[in-house]
Amino acid sequence: MKTITLHVPESKSADVVAAHIEQLKSLFPEAFTEGKVDFEVLKGLLGGTVDEREEKYGLNWHGKRRARQIALIPSTGTLRPCPEESVDWDTTQNLVIEGDNLEVLKLLQKSYAGKVKLIYIDPPYNTGKDFVYPDNFQDNIKNYLELTGQVDGEGRKLSSNSEASGRFHTDWLNMMYPRLKLARTLLKDDGVIVISISDYESHNLRHVMNEVFGEENFIAAVIWQKVYSPKNSARHFSEDHDYVLVYAQSGEKWTPCLLPRTEEMEARYINPDNDPRGPWKPGDLSARNYYGEGTYPVACPSGRTIEGPPSGRYWVISKAKFDELNSDTRIWWGSDGNNVPAIQEIPLRGATRQGAPNFLVL
């Protein structure tokens, strides 16, 4: 494991603003006059996609504009290798970078922009106790913290982000926003970002992620059960889970990488009817969710008629789809042909991709 530290400022990181301008210039050269963007021309070129309404749907907070600008300011730091603190320096392919992750994200832009397959972030949950600032910073980091109201003029204030601060959610959002903007530029086209979060800020994080990554690239809010016994001291409900938000750089291009099934998983699939397509397992054809086309009778091969799904439930497929699956021998009626119908579920074939994907943990 190679260890690298954030060093005293010496150079500048990649200029994200300049890169954006060059991309814009290549797409809309006519929108530039004497090196500056002519927004009136640009709006005309974009047509009806420009939204100039004063009232818009979205999340706003004090300092958002500045937080957006901070993500674009190049870092004046540099990364210094520490072989003496590392393990297998000459052969390892892993890095541990020590330093403020905002500055590090900026410094990584030159070498890793558009190259990272997976980013995992475990940010402060902003419970009022875990969001604490240190009391000493390098100049560039100190300036950032002063501008966002996180420290006093001397940069030595040690303070937790308590609800009594007056800007409980604002401070957290100002910390997260520029980091998420920079993280997105590191991802490959088929990359994905995964973020752990609790109830305290999950709603705000969803809004910010929708803005930065696009709502269409939201994949899932995975439930992570962190507690397996109830807390008797809970005042209202005993919370036993956190969330893991998953967003893709492109929801159309990213697909999960499935793991191989274990022997225990394989054993769940059998082939009692010698189906030439291979092993399967019966799956429930009914559910409690209302489905308008899910209340029809079915005739068993034995001759018995089942008037509909169990009380309070609905078939999960239409009659036309049911008949299609039944004619394809995808419906299981039991060995005597008299059971409530079940669907034959074919196992998903898990596979691991060749090579280790690049990933970043913040």
Tell me: pLDDT of 329 over 90: yes
What percent of the chain stands above pLDDT 70? 81
CATH number of the domain within which 189 lies: 3.40.50
Give the residue numbers spanning the domain of 53: 2-258+357-361
Counting the structural domains of the chain, the total is 2
In this structure, is residue 237 part of a structural domain?
A: yes
The residue type of 238 is S
Q: In this structure, are 33 and 156 located in the same domain?
A: yes
- Give the torsion sign (CA, 144, 149, 150, 155): positive
Residue 179 counted as domain residue: yes
172 to 136, 161, 180, 224: CA distances (angstroms): 19, 8, 12, 22
Predicted model pTM:
0.69
Tell whether 351 is covered by a domain: no
**Burial status of residue 186 (CB atoms within 10 A of its CB: 0-12, 13-18, 19 or more):** buried
Q: How many CA atoms lie within 13 A of 32 on its CB side?
A: 12
In contact, 341 and 316? CB cutoff 8 Å: no
Is the residue at 26 inside a domain? yes
Co-location of 97 and 202 in the same domain: yes
Tell me, yes or no, whether 283 and 244 share the same domain.
no
Same-domain status, 45 and 61: yes
Residues in the chain: 362
Answer whether residue 350 is part of any domain. no
Asked whether residue 207 falls in the same domain as residue 172, the answer is yes
Which phi and psi (to 5°) does residue 183 adopt? -60, -40
Q: Is 128 exposed, middle or buried (0-12, 13-18, 19+ CB in 10 A)?
A: middle
Q: What are the CA-CA distances from residue 220 to residues 190, 199, 251, 262 (Å)? A: 16, 16, 11, 25
Whether 30 and 87 share a structural domain: yes
- Residue 106 shares a structural domain with residue 162: yes
- Residue 352 forms part of a structural domain: no
**pLDDT per residue as tens digits for the range 273-289:** 899 989 999 999 999 99
For residues 32 and 126, membership in a common domain is answered with yes
40 and 113 inside one domain: yes
Task: Using pLDDT thresholds of 50, 70 and 90, give the confidence band for residue 76.
Answer: confident
* Pairing assessment for the beta strands 218-225 and 116-121 based on DSSP bridges: unpaired
328 or 146: which leads in pLDDT: 328
Of the segments 14-18, 45-49, 255-259, 330-334, which one has the largest average pLDDT value? Answer: 330-334
Same domain? For 207 and 297 the reply is no
pLDDT recorded at residue 160: 53
81 and 10 share one domain: yes
Residue 292 is encoded by which pair of tokens? 């308008």
pLDDT tens readout for residues 234-258: 788 888 899 999 999 999 999 988 7
